[in-house]
DNA sequence: ACGTTATATAATACAATCGTTATATAAAGA
DNA sequence: TCTTTATATAACGATTGTATTATATAACGT
């Protein structure tokens, strides 16, 4: 029973992280290729700290991974996250046009 | 571009509805069989109006359907919801023990 | 060492979410 | 008609989520 509650809590936490348009768009982009913070700052109409905060939430839950290269921090999807498959299913379910690999 | 934004907004709205433990549990139960409000009131440690509000949110978004029978209102999953398949995938991804059909 | 660029954190404001209690409505049964 | 049962709505408060601005840190280039 406690076990059941835990699984439900984990899932609701996971879905909460995905239930924000900015974070969904971030994940959709990261599904194509790595991006650094500045890519997203250009992309969205929100401040740099706001972008940073979204990335922090996704990183804290291990949905994305980061890697520093010189002064940039590059983010990518974590393929080993327990719900990685579900994440891909959700991204596909949005059924959006593909993002060109070269695009910013 | 606008189209893309709409799809992302729709998905984030949908996920927001599922990102609550009580609503996930409600949906998990409804996946097994119909329930009325009073079933859920017994089941959860929240007030009847709180249960009613969760059901209203799910109904408004067409994720569940209702049917009145005498003084009871029975809820069930809407198999024609655009994201019905995704909903089932999410419920399965929680990988919980099956709920016996006869159970309350 | 200093200025610039990239990113993170702190403080704060505002809006959304989710609970409660009190009350209303609808159907049933005496 | 009156009471009971099932459900919904309204009003309100606490908590959480998401933005902003200001400031800090880290790496780079001159």
Question: Where along chain B do its domains lie?
Answer: 2-93
Q: What is the distance between the alpha carbons of residues A85 and A57, in angstroms, rounded to a whole number?
A: 19
Q: A56 CA, C3 C1': separation in Å? A: 28
Q: Tell if B46 CB is < 7 Å from nucleic strand C.
A: yes
* Partners of B36 in beta bridges: B74
The pLDDT assigned to A32 comes to: 96
Q: Which residue from B9, B15, B97 is facing A15, i.e. has the nearest CB?
A: B15
Second-level CATH architecture of A2-93:
Orthogonal Bundle (1.10)
Q: Does A18 touch chain B (CB under 8 A)?
A: yes
A94–B11 CB contact, under 8 Å: yes
Q: What is the pLDDT of residue A97?
A: 80
Residue B8 belongs to what H/E stretch? helix B2-18
Contact A54/A20 with Cβ under 8 angstroms? yes
By the CB < 8 Å criterion, does A99 face chain B?
no
At residue B102, the pLDDT reads 55
* pLDDT, average across residues B29-37: 97
| Cβ atoms of B24 and B18 closer than 8 Å | yes
Q: CB B11 to CB A83 under 8 A?
A: no
Q: Is the minimum CB–CB distance between A90 and chain B shorter than 8 Å?
A: yes
Which pLDDT value is given to residue B53? 98
pLDDT at B104: 36
From the Cβ of A102, is strand D under 7 Å away? no
The whole-number pLDDT of residue A95 equals: 79
State pLDDT tens for residues A53-87: 999 999 999 999 999 999 999 999 999 999 999 99
Contact yes or no for B9 and A15 at CB 8 A = no
Q: Which two tokens stand for residue A52?
A: 């940073």
> Binning pLDDT at 50, 70 and 90, where does residue A103 land?
very low
User: For residue B67, what are the β-bridge partners?
Assistant: B74
The predicted pLDDT at position A80 comes to 98
Q: What is the mean pLDDT of chain B?
A: 94
Q: Among residues of chain A, what percentage have pLDDT more than 70?
A: 96
pLDDT in tens, B59-77: 999 999 999 999 999 999 9
As a whole number of angstroms, the distance between CA A17 and CA A23 comes to 7
**How confident is the model over B69-98, as a mean pLDDT?**
95
- As a dihedral over the C-alpha atoms of residue B90, residue B50, residue B8, residue A64, rounded to 10 degrees, the angle is -60
Question: b/e per residue, A36-60, with b = 16+ CB within 10 A?
Answer: bbebbeeebeeeeeebeebbeebee
Q: How far apart are CA B55 and CA A9, in angstroms?
A: 19
Q: Is the pLDDT of residue B39 over 50?
A: yes
Average pLDDT over residues A38-48: 98
């Amino acid at each position: 029973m406690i076990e059941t509650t835990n699984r439900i809590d984990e899932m609701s936490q996971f879905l909460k992280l995905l239930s924000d348009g900015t974070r969904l768009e971030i994940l959709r982009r990261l599904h194509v290729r790595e991006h650094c913070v500045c890519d997203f700052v250009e992309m969205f109409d929100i401040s740099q700290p706001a972008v940073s905060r979204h990335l922090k939430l996704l990183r804290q839950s291990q949905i994305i991974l980061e890697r520093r290269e010189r002064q940039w921090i590059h983010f990518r999807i974590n393929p080993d996250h327990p719900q990685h498959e579900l994440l891909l299913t959700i991204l596909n379910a949005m059924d959006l046009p593909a993002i060109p690999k070269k695009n910013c």
